[in-house]
Amino acid sequence: MAILRKDSVPVTEGVSGYPDPFDLGRGFLSYRHLTEAGGLTQFGIAVETLQPGRQSSQQHWEEHEDEFLYLLEGALTVVEDETETVIHPGDACCWKAGVPVAHVLRNDSDHPATYLIAGSRLPHNVTHYRGIDLVGTPWGYTHLDGTPYPTKGETE
């Protein structure tokens, strides 16, 4: 058993792994990866803080991974396809694997928003990104036609 005391898990600065031109840069969010610190491997849970004026990811849906969010502090705009919903502390979101509802979190406020985020950790998952030429596969990012994007540091 692992007891994780408040603030015992280090904060990690978020760094986008998306290929250009979809890269979100760094510093848009920070997180404490709780399950990783506890040695768990079958699912992932983190406490994330999304900075004002930023978005959490590219708008996406997962083929094989469930995702869950519980808002702790602040306010978030949850974008699901074209629908925008503002959520507040105590509100939760569930995205079922295989349901093609593309979602992204946006912090439209002047204050950081902190939430608990949970998901499966399935190595065979495929992530679809809405409206852009990007697919996340177990082997890396590809264009919609299956052509791989270069890894960071390479050129096309």
Q: DSSP assignment of 35-47, as one string?
A: HHHTT--SEEEEE
Structural domain includes residue 105: yes
Residues of the chain with pLDDT under 50: none
Look up the pTM and report it: 0.91
Q: Given this model, what pLDDT does residue 1 score? A: 65
CA–CA separation, 94 vs 114, rounded Å? 17
Structural domain includes residue 150: no
CA–CA separation, 125 vs 65, rounded Å? 7
Structural domain includes residue 109: yes
**Host domain of residue 47:** 12-142
How many other CB atoms are there within 10 angstroms of residue 148's CB atom? Answer: 14
Contact 55, 28 (CB under 8 A): yes
Q: Given this model, what pLDDT does residue 8 score? A: 94
Q: Given this model, what pLDDT does residue 145 score? A: 97
CATH number at residue 47: 2.60.120.10
pLDDT in tens, 75-100: 999 999 999 999 999 999 999 999 99
Contact 61, 95 (CB under 8 A): yes
Query: What is the count of structural domains for the chain?
Result: 1
Among 24, 27, 45, CA closest to 36: 45
Q: DSSP assignment of 78-104, as one string?
A: EEETTEEEEE-TT-EEEE-TT----EE
Q: Given this model, what pLDDT does residue 2 score? A: 85
Look up residue 145 and give its two tokens.
């036609």
Structural domain includes residue 154: no
The length of the chain in residues reads: 156
Strand 127-129 to 76-80 pairing: unpaired
Contact 62, 125 (CB under 8 A): yes
Structural domain includes residue 121: yes
